[in-house]
Copies of this chain bind each other. A is one copy, B any other.
Amino acid sequence: MTNQLDIVFGALADPTRRAVVEQLTLGPAAVSALHDGHDMALPTFLKHLKVLEESGLVSSTKKGRVRTVHIEAAPLRVMDDWLKRQKDMWEGRLDRLARLAEALNEEDST
């Protein structure tokens, strides 16, 4: 049962990969530009990019010897939806509790 949320949450559970996503919200960038400022060997960094790409958070195209990487909004929305669903459930439950408390109060004053 490995669904997309596993992969997307997993992809973002790493500061290097989150930093890449953050940087890409400002616009597409080449692999080496993204790599600048990350203190790790290029092949290591490339693995991170691969994880991001496999998660769908990012896509890339190669032209000549340069690969350019772009952010993809869809997976962020999927996560956002999940979070919102939890929030709604949670708040729905709080509402029900509030109504219950009110009902008990009524009963109390009867």
Binding site for B on A (CB under 8 A): 1-3, 5-7, 9-10, 12-15, 18, 21-22, 25-27, 71, 73, 76, 79-80, 82-83, 86-87, 89-90, 93
Number of copies: 2
A48 CB, min distance to chain B CBs, angstroms: 13
A43 CB, min distance to chain B CBs, angstroms: 21
Chain B residue with the shortest CB-CB distance to A27: B93
Evaluate contact between A25 and B83: CB separation under 8 angstroms: no
- B2, B76, B87: the one contacting A76 at CB < 8 Å is B87
- B13, B21, B93: the one contacting A86 at CB < 8 Å is B21
A15 CB, min distance to chain B CBs, angstroms: 5
A4 CB, min distance to chain B CBs, angstroms: 11
A96 CB, min distance to chain B CBs, angstroms: 9
A19 CB, min distance to chain B CBs, angstroms: 10
Known contacts A13-B9, A15-B1: A76-B71 contact under CB 8 Å? no
